[in-house]
Amino acid sequence: MTPVRSARTSTTLFVLGGVFVWTALIVGGAARGILRSDVFARRLAATLSDERVANYVSARITDGIISQRPNLVGVRPLLQSAVSAVVTSAPFRAVVRTTARTAHHSLFESAGRNLVLSLPDVSVLVRGALANASPDLAAKIPPGIEATLVSPEAQRAFTRFIAAWVLLGRVLWAAWVMLALGLAAGVVAIWVAPDRRTALVRAGGALFAVGLVLIAVLPAGRLVAAALTRDPALRGVVHGLWVAFFGPVKPLAVIAGSAGVVLAAAGSTMLEAVDPFTRLKALLGWLTAPLHPTAHIGRAILLLAAGTYAAVAPARAAAGFIAVAGLLLVFLGLREVFRLVLATVPGAVAAPTGRTDARAWRIVAVMGVVLAAALGGGAFLVLRSPPTPPETAGVVSVCNGSEKLCDRRVDQVVFPAAHNAMSNAEIPGWLFPHHNHAFPRQLEDGVRALLIDVHYGVPAGGHVITDMAREGTTKDKIQEVLGPEATDAALRIRSRFLGKESGASALYFCHGFCELGAYPVLPALEGVRAFLVANPGEVVLVVVEDYVTPEDLARAFQDAGLMDLIYTGPVAPPLPTLRQLIDQGQRLLVFTESGKPGVPWLRPAFESMQETPYSFHKPADFSCRPNRGGTTPPLFQINHWIETTPAPKPSNAEIVNAYDFLLKRARACEQERHRLPNVIAVDFYDVGDLFRVARTLNRLDEVARAPGAANPGQR
């Protein structure tokens, strides 16, 4: 059947097709960044690269600090300078990503009513930034700062904007349908046009217009910002957010515009009637020719606007002029290519009948696809924004001290571990310590797995006594761990303070008996959070020898603010990589030795981890034979210390933690158990060469130090 030719129908289809394509590309380009929590968090953190956004956030945080400590108003310039340095740092961006991800889940998955963008860890970062420059000022920063990024009104507006995309998310498939309909409308528009060669030029113009309108979405953010708020600073923030979420339409605009130029060049070549220079002369003539009074007014407004823009932004105006000239040259070059090829097809160019040979259309179709792909891809590569350095973008590029570890799975990484990490000489009154330093120093030095004991204890007369009744502990059970000497000492202390309870039973770090040393769990866990916040590229394992209920232990982690940092995914092959854990913001893996059910993220240690024996009395006793966990779990722990109950000896650690000795045993166990030793647990981690051995087993060519770690050569 011969199609009904209609210029009006063709034009209508071109307009509808262009609108469909533009809408589909807008929705598809922006929806992913709004609907997916991880992409949403990354884009929100990326806005801090915009100076206007960074300055606004710095001012908000500074205002929050001064509102809690009014006397700091006198040092506001120094304080805001430190805050500005924090806002542009990778740790701060990591906090923003975590906060944004949590807020997104609350809004989209938990039917939250508002998108609350507040940062609970600002005081940790600000104190760290001021620690060297002004320790006194750092001490005055209140610990409980929770800075809100924007005003309540702005948060409500942002919530409405994001929530509006929920509907789009539910019908996101419609964007693909709309894109297909738009392209189909363009094809039909060419088919029903009286002259298909002219229609091909118009199709190219329509696609090019789609590209221009897509690009126009980005500067339109300024108009949106001006409409939303009168605050100049907040306008900059709105525009920065607009660009972050709609920035992905830029490459789509380049591709659409490139395809349009190719189609227009192909059609004008076949028609030999569209001479750009003739059209340019006609445009210049229009600028001076007499017109209808209404047209005169329109032309005057257009000229005034163009002249004003050129005067106000000469650089941008010149860039636009050069871009137009470049496109004109591209158009002419493509015409020459089409002309050379179509010259071999009789009647393909400017056929007298107004019809073109089918062979010519096939050639144009193939060449159009090839040239559009080549031009669009080349333009995208040339015109795209240069890649932002990882430090600027806030993307973590070093994982657990080395970029080489980022793409390795957890079971492919060695984590230096502190056995009985809670037992250390920095705790006042702690008897028989296993280490010289507490959690903060352990983590700063490079320990990445903490093996800890948690008990119930009751304050009594300046001491803590074990709440044996609550945790079901017996003297014989503890004696197996501590030996008779330490057990007798603990019972003597206990009998002295029994009946003098001065507080309620609570969670304490103890080793066997709290009478031999104890301190509250919550503040120490808050120190772990502070380290993770300040070091967004670090993944830490915690293995708890638990004498408390899972619910009470989970509550302690929750009260310490660690919930948003705890890994909640499966611990089964294939395990996540360090980069995946860091990108998800879940950098703390928690295991319990008891394996009690009740809290999903408190994972039974020996379902995920296998180990060696742990009771060795001399170096010759070390073995690699299976112990708890059998031989099937994906993670492997080497227990490596000399048992000298009740008091561990640094002199023994100096022998067994020596580089050659420790490395030899680790490699022997790796060969025997066919597993990389993921957790190497030692006493007195800072004695010997634990970190050097871990680097060797991790196959790191360079000395990679954890943040704040001492130089291994100086140990």
| 199-219 residues labelled b (16+ CB within 10 A) or e (exposed) | bbbbbbbbbbbbbebbbebbe
DSSP 120: T
CA 628/CA 595 separation, integer angstroms: 12
| 249-271 helix and 314-342 helix, angle to the nearest 10 degrees | 50
Q: Does pLDDT of 268 surpass 90?
A: no
Average pLDDT, the chain: 79
pLDDT value, residue 321? 65
- End-to-end CA distance of the chain: give it in Å, rounded: 89
pLDDT digits (tens, 9 = 90+) for 174-191: 777 888 888 888 778 877
Q: Does pLDDT of 585 surpass 50?
A: yes
Mean of pLDDT values over 531-556:
94
Query: In degrees rounded to 5, what are phi and psi of residue 24?
Result: -60, -40
Q: Is 261 helix (H, G, I), strand (E, B) or coil?
A: helix
- The tokens for 590 are 């928690």
CA 83/CA 87 separation, integer angstroms: 6
Q: How far is CA 707 from CA 107, 445, 514, 564, in A?
A: 35, 8, 32, 22
pLDDT value, residue 372? 52
Higher per-residue pLDDT: 512 or 660: 660
| 249-271 helix and 196-216 helix, angle to the nearest 10 degrees | 160
Q: Is 680 helix (H, G, I), strand (E, B) or coil?
A: strand
pLDDT digits (tens, 9 = 90+) for 94-110: 878 877 777 777 666 55
User: Which residue has 């490395």 as its token pair?
Assistant: 663
CA 158/CA 152 separation, integer angstroms: 10
CA 370/CA 128 separation, integer angstroms: 55
Contact between residue 464 and residue 470 where contact means Cβ atoms under 8 Å apart: no
* Number of neighbouring beta carbons within 10 Å of residue 318: 11
For residue 468, how many C-alpha atoms fall within 13 Å in the half-sphere facing its CB?
Answer: 14
Contact between residue 678 and residue 637 where contact means Cβ atoms under 8 Å apart: yes
Query: Cβ-count burial of 95 within 10 angstroms (0-12 exposed, 13-18 middle, 19+ buried)?
Result: buried
pLDDT value, residue 98? 78
Contact between residue 356 and residue 270 where contact means Cβ atoms under 8 Å apart: yes
pLDDT digits (tens, 9 = 90+) for 320-329: 666 666 656 6
CA 225/CA 232 separation, integer angstroms: 9
Q: What element of type H or E holds 218? A: none
CA 185/CA 20 separation, integer angstroms: 9
Confidence of residue 695 (pLDDT cuts 50, 70, 90): very high
pLDDT value, residue 330? 59
Q: Does pLDDT of 603 surpass 90?
A: yes
pLDDT digits (tens, 9 = 90+) for 285-299: 666 677 667 766 776
Q: Is 288 helix (H, G, I), strand (E, B) or coil?
A: helix
User: Which residue has 């948003």 as its token pair?
Assistant: 564
* Domains, the chain, ordered by start: 7-42+156-383 (no CATH), 59-150 (no CATH), 403-714 (3.20.20.190)
pLDDT value, residue 172? 64
Q: What element of type H or E holds 702? A: none
Instruction: Give me the percent of the chain exceeding a pLDDT of 90.
Output: 33
pLDDT value, residue 393? 43
Q: Does pLDDT of 657 surpass 50?
A: yes
Confidence of residue 243 (pLDDT cuts 50, 70, 90): confident
* Number of neighbouring beta carbons within 10 Å of residue 317: 16
Across 254-268, 499-513, 627-641, 648-662, least confident range: 254-268
Across 4-18, 22-36, 619-633, 653-667, least confident range: 22-36
pLDDT digits (tens, 9 = 90+) for 481-505: 677 777 777 777 777 777 677 789 9
pLDDT value, residue 383? 44
Q: Does pLDDT of 436 surpass 90?
A: yes
